[in-house]
Amino acid sequence: MSRPRKRILGLVALLTAAYLLFSKEFTSGGIGLVTRNSNISHSESPASDHTDSGDVSYPKYTAGETTAQRLDLLKKLQDLEQQELHYQQSEDSRHKFRLQNTFAEQQSSEFAALENATFVTLARNSDLLGLMNTIRSVEDRFNNRYHYDWVFLNNEPFTEEFVKVSSSLVSGQARYGVIGLDHWSYPDWINRTAAAEVRNKMRNAGIIYGDSESYRHMCRYESGFFYHHPLMREYKYYWRVEPDTLLHCDIDYDVFKYMREEKKKYGFTIALREYISTIESLWDVTRQYLSHVPDALNSNSLLEFISDDYGVTYNLCHFWTNFEIADMDFWRAPPYQDYFDFLDKAGGFFYERWGDAPVHSIAASLFLDKKEIHFFDDIGYTHPPFTHCPMNPIERGLTCSCLPTQNFDWQSYSCTRQFYKAQNMPLPDNIPNA
């Protein structure tokens, strides 16, 4: 019971007792028969010393009251009873209001029809600390309004701590899967000795992740297997999230619904160039694949994004796949699955250091209609060391915690300008053509 209501009920009880007590001091036919000389003093009256921490002033009466004062006491009692009734009605009304608003919120969020989609994160147990702020960022900026599931995948079982902490941060259902050895090991056709020699050479050359065996397994898994994991088979769309990344802008619409309604198959925020030393033969192998299945090339492809000479060479542009929102039906079906199998048999994931970013980007650019590829320009995002921050966020009604001056989009190493050109999109104001 609330404090104001307790105070009112206390006054009602107190004044009722006082009224009954005073009534006994009157004869059945007389008025005011108790004189001022009564042995009952002012300090002995039932209400004289009563105080309350709520700063309510109680009326003080002696036993020798006049009829007018007695009637005044009765009126005060009636007024307090009306206040209690009014308060009860108001409280009922507020409760009804809360119920109505709770129902409306549920109707607009939890009970609303969600898309068949999930977040997905490939992580090690040691990534937990870097993942906590990332999950909180995604939840605060987007998922607290929709409560989409979140799938966590690892090549070894997650620890109890990882599950307990990460699940407490996710507003949807958190799900945990282990990657099978058949998807996180060397295929039979790979010469492990030759692969080890490549790693040593790349280490000596100072190539980033050049000597990492686990990084190669990760790139191969993200390129061709994650969408086949039993947990992921239940979904159509996914949003990939990696540790130590942040969202900078509130997202007030359902991005998965947007993908479906606008018939988009692939979405990104950052585009840049790959290290040539990691993918030296990737484009040659891609051209070999296209020579076998020329019909795989979409007649309205985004080829100009990845090649400056109509497909003769690869310009190294790719979408940074640590952020990608995509339709897994594209990866699961030909031509992509056939393309991945062709690349896998060529061995470049181990004999070089092919990344999932150029593999996904080349495939999307060649096999999709370019209208099916979307630049999420309104989603501010950071994966160190690069940040995408929307231009003119305030004027566009965006709530962001980044500055446009942080934006990587128009720097020389970025491929955003190349994407605009390939899509025949006008560049934003104040952005030069070259």
Which residues are annotated as catalytic? 324
CB 119 within 8 A of CB 241: yes
The CA-atom distances, in angstroms, between 82 and each of 19, 76, 86 are 17, 10, 6
For residue 257, give the amino acid letter: K
For residue 208, give the amino acid letter: I
Query: How crowded is the C-beta side of 112, counted as CA atoms within 13 Å?
Result: 15
The CA-atom distances, in angstroms, between 211 and each of 21, 131, 201, 352 are 94, 25, 8, 10
> What SS3 state is found at 317?
strand
Distance CA 58, CA 207 (A): 83
User: Residue 382 pairs with which residues in a beta bridge?
Assistant: 246, 387
Q: Which residues contact 282 (CB under 8 A, 6 or more apart)?
A: 314, 343, 348, 352, 354, 358, 359, 362
Distance CA 346, CA 333 (A): 20
CB 170 within 8 A of CB 164: no
> What SS3 state is found at 341?
helix
> What SS3 state is found at 321?
coil
CB 266 within 8 A of CB 364: yes
Helices and strands per DSSP (H, E), number in the chain: 14, 12
